[in-house]
Chains A and B, each alone.
Chain A
Amino acid sequence: MPAGLNRALLTVIGAVIAIVLAIAISSVAITAAGASPLAALGAFFDFGSSPRTVANGIATFLNRAVPLFIAGLAVAVGFRMNLFNIGVEGQYRLAAIVAAYVGSTFTAPAPIQIAVIIVVAAAVGGLYALIPAIMKVTRGVNEVIATIMLNYVAINLASYLVRGPFSGQRAEGALNTTTPELPESAMFPNLNFIFDWFGQPEPTRGGGVWGFLIAAVVLGVLVWAVLERTRFGFEIKASGLNGPAAAASGVNPKKMIIAAMVLSGAIAGLISLPELLGDKGAYTSTFTAGLGFLGIAVALLGRNKPVGIAFAALLFAFLDRAQGALQFADVPASVITIIQGMIVLLVVVANEVTNRFALRLEERRAAQQLGRNAPVEVAA
Chain B
Amino acid sequence: MSADTLATAKPAVELEGITKRFPGVVANHDIRITVRPGTVHAIVGENGAGKSTLMKILYGMQKPDEGTIKVDGAEVSFRTPSDAIGVGIGMVHQHFMLADNLTVLENIVLGAEPKKLGLLDTAAARTRITELAQTHGLRVDPDRLVEDLGVGDRQRVEILKVLYRGARILILDEPTAVLVPQEVEELFQNLRELKSDGLTVIFISHKLDEVLGIADAITVIRRGTTVASVNPADVTARQLAELMVGSELPTPETRESTVTDRVALTVAGVTMEADGHRPAANDATYLDRLRAEGARLLLDDVSFEIHEGEILGIAGVEGNGQSELIEAIMGIRPAHGSVELGGRDISGWSTLKRRESGIGYIPEDRHRQGLLLEASLWENRVLGHQTRSPARRGIWVNRRAARADTQRIVKDYDVRTPSVDTLALALSGGNQQKLIVGREMSGEPKLLIAAHPTRGVDVGAQAAIWDHLREARAAGLAVLLISADLDELIGLSDSLRVIYRGRLVAALDPSDITPERLGGYMTGAIAGTEES
On whether the beta carbons of B425 and A362 are closer than 8 Å, the reply is yes
Interface core residue of A3, A234, A376 (most chain B CB under 10 Å)? A234
Across the interface, which residues of B come within 8 angstroms of A360, CB to CB?
Answer: 23
Chain A CB within 8 A of B32 CB = no
On whether the beta carbons of A250 and B372 are closer than 8 Å, the reply is no
CA distance A252 to B331 in the complex (A): 11
Q: Which of B149-157, B177-185, B229-237, B390-398 faces chain A?
A: B390-398
Instruction: From A231, A252, A359, A367, give the contact of B392 (CB < 8 A).
Output: A231
On whether the beta carbons of B427 and A248 are closer than 8 Å, the reply is no
Instruction: From A230, A363, A376, A380, give the contact of B426 (CB < 8 A).
Output: A363
Chain B CB within 8 A of A379 CB = yes
Which residue of chain B has its CB nearest to the CB of A250?
Answer: B352
**Residues from 359 to 380 in A contacting B, C-beta threshold 8 Å:** 359-360, 362-363, 365-367, 369-370, 375-380
Chain A CB within 8 A of B238 CB = no
CA distance A61 to B48 in the complex (A): 56
On whether the beta carbons of A241 and B374 are closer than 8 Å, the reply is yes
Q: Which of B338-346, B362-370, B497-505 faces chain A?
A: B362-370
Chain A CB within 8 A of B223 CB = yes
On whether the beta carbons of A238 and B352 are closer than 8 Å, the reply is no
Residues 267-303 of B, flagged 1 when their CB comes within 8 A of A and 0 if not, give 0000000000000000000000000000000000000
Interface core residue of B369, B370, B417, B458 (most chain A CB under 10 Å)? B369
Chain B CB within 8 A of A2 CB = yes
How many contacting A-B pairs (Cβ < 8 A)?
144
Instruction: From A232, A246, A247, A370, give the contact of B416 (CB < 8 A).
Output: A370
Q: Check A245/B368 contact, CB under 8 A, given A229-B396, A231-B387.
A: yes
Chain B CB within 8 A of A242 CB = yes
On whether the beta carbons of A250 and B355 are closer than 8 Å, the reply is yes
On whether the beta carbons of B395 and A380 are closer than 8 Å, the reply is no
Residues 368-400 of B, flagged 1 when their CB comes within 8 A of A and 0 if not, give 111111111001001110110000100111010
Chain B CB within 8 A of A235 CB = yes
Chain B CB within 8 A of A140 CB = no
Q: Could you tell me the distance in whole angstroms from the C-beta of B396 to the nearest C-beta in chain A?
A: 6
Residues 190-214 of A, flagged 1 when their CB comes within 8 A of B and 0 if not, give 0000000000000000000000000
Chain B CB within 8 A of A251 CB = yes
Interface core residue of A3, A232, A379 (most chain B CB under 10 Å)? A379
Q: Could you tell me the distance in whole angstroms from the C-beta of A187 to the nearest C-beta in chain B?
A: 34
Chain B CB within 8 A of A244 CB = yes
Chain A CB within 8 A of B27 CB = yes
Q: Could you tell me the distance in whole angstroms from the C-beta of B411 to the nearest C-beta in chain A?
A: 15
On whether the beta carbons of A234 and B350 are closer than 8 Å, the reply is no
On whether the beta carbons of B456 and A3 are closer than 8 Å, the reply is no
Instruction: From A234, A366, A378, give the contact of B29 (CB < 8 A).
Output: A378
* Residues of chain A at interface, number, CB under 8 A: 38
CA distance A241 to B380 in the complex (A): 11
Chain A CB within 8 A of B351 CB = yes
On whether the beta carbons of B372 and A238 are closer than 8 Å, the reply is yes
Across the interface, which residues of B come within 8 angstroms of A49, CB to CB?
Answer: none
Residues 1-45 of B, flagged 1 when their CB comes within 8 A of A and 0 if not, give 000000000000000000000011111010000000000000000
Across the interface, which residues of A come within 8 angstroms of B396, CB to CB?
Answer: 229-231
On whether the beta carbons of B369 and A375 are closer than 8 Å, the reply is no
On whether the beta carbons of A230 and B397 are closer than 8 Å, the reply is yes
Across the interface, which residues of A come within 8 angstroms of B351, CB to CB?
Answer: 247-250, 252
Q: Could you tell me the distance in whole angstroms from the C-beta of A230 to the nearest C-beta in chain B?
A: 5
On whether the beta carbons of A250 and B350 are closer than 8 Å, the reply is yes
Instruction: From B26, B373, B379, give the contact of A234 (CB < 8 A).
Output: B379
On whether the beta carbons of A366 and B363 are closer than 8 Å, the reply is no
On whether the beta carbons of B24 and A363 are closer than 8 Å, the reply is yes
Across the interface, which residues of A come within 8 angstroms of B430, CB to CB?
Answer: 377
**Residues from 1 to 23 in A contacting B, C-beta threshold 8 Å:** 2-4
Chain B CB within 8 A of A237 CB = yes
CA distance A232 to B49 in the complex (A): 38
* Chain B contacts to A: CB under 8 angstroms: 23-27, 29, 47-50, 52-53, 223-224, 330, 332, 350-356, 361, 363, 368-376, 379, 382-384, 386-387, 392, 395-397, 399, 416-419, 421-423, 425-430, 455-458
Q: Can you name 14 A-B residue pairings with CB atoms under 8 Å?
A: A3-B423, A230-B395, A237-B379, A241-B373, A246-B383, A250-B356, A359-B374, A362-B423, A366-B426, A367-B24, A370-B416, A377-B428, A377-B457, A380-B52
* Chain A contacts to B: CB under 8 angstroms: 2-4, 229-235, 237-238, 241-242, 244-252, 359-360, 362-363, 365-367, 369-370, 375-380
**List of 3 A-B pairs having minimum Cβ-Cβ separation, nearest first:** A250-B352, A379-B456, A366-B426
